[in-house]
Structure 1
């Protein structure tokens, strides 16, 4: 793999990322993987009436019906390519909740200058994102969300589609990467979120845990 979906999507703007974020979002060398470990300050939603819907997506390793603080987690990134030959990254985030470990899985690819994230095992949700570099950090803002049912792709109309915003920046004061994701729905408000810090590096070989 000679490039990454983020470098393709951002183009020249990629050079505006903080040096430590360049290492995170750039291509992973062949035979290696990225691995990070940290703590999320908060994960999930306190709005328990949403939990039944989240439980369905939890079975596919997308989101989880929880509201917990101080959640240890790891992230593993593996380089890959799509069926069309475009660069992609397979990511696994393991959350260590009070009730046990749960894994969120997704594949990040690129379509032109758009980031495409497909979530779940099996795949259940796909989202398209505009990518921008802001003050040395990366901000992804969703432009479309669709559910995947078998081979069918069911797009959500924009007025009822959740707005997903991912922010990644490097905090030099604590020498760690800060990440936050929010999902908001028009009128309803915040559906889901997580935010925290972690340290990350490139390792050789395959990680088994």
Structure 2
């Protein structure tokens, strides 16, 4: 029974509590629990992906091999996301996501698992996991705002929490654009003393269906 209860909620609802109902109705559908056996699928176009600072690309290439970030700077990038409900290692609710970016004729996957750690959303990024970020969550004007409060890197079984003086700050905003009838997402990664090192932003449309339908079978 405890596992079933965990699977029937979502990390965002668990963290936001009553504030979850303040989200735009279409965002509630996106961030709420996905029924077992179903997949949430979104398709759209990102206005920008990556960073124009080419001197950062060798570092981003390391993250690219782990399916986290990519050494590119491109516009008008076709994009899909697939969200699947899972149970985290601690038995809590989690969502496993694969985001696919069609970059210069190649498809790059960003892979992560979003769960709960206390009052924060935790995102475990990479395959295998290379980084973890803990986010505070707020609802502002019907939109979701996530801001990282702690970041760690994983080296095998070793987890190294980065000091705040050097840790990147990740800011995510998800809102619904009624005029365009699409969900808008923006992510910006900043590093102290350097500034913006990575970003992506764009719009997509999302629906939840059976796993077979979502995969095109």
Q: Same fold (TM over 0.5)?
A: yes
Deviation per CA, 1:140-161: give whole Å up to 9, x if none.
0000001000000011100100
Counterpart in 2 of 1:161? 167
Provide Cα deviations, 1:23-52, integer angstroms capped at 9, x if missing partner: 000000111010000000000000000000
Aligned to 1:62: 68
Structure 1 distance, partners of 2:205, 2:211, is 19
Written as runs of structure 1 = structure 2, the 5 A alignment for 1:179-198 is: 179-198=185-204
Partner Cα distance (1:132, 1:7) in 2? 11
- Deviations 1:53-112 (CA, angstroms, capped at 9, x unpaired): 000110000000000000001000000011111000000000000140000000000012
Equivalent in 46, 55, 69 of residue 49 of structure 1? 55
Give aligned pairs, total: 209
Q: CA RMSD in A?
A: 0.9
Cα distance in 2 between the residues matched to 1:15 and 1:58:
36
Counterpart of 2:77 (choices 71, 78, 90) is 71
Q: List gaps (5 residues or longer) in structure 2.
A: 1-6
1:115-169 per-residue CA deviation (whole Å, 9 max, x = no partner) reads 0000000100000000000100000000000100000001110010011000000
Secondary structure (helix, strand or coil) at the match of 1:158 reads coil
Moved over 6 A (4+): none
Offset at residue 208 of structure 1 (A):
3.9
TM normalised by structure 2 equals 0.95
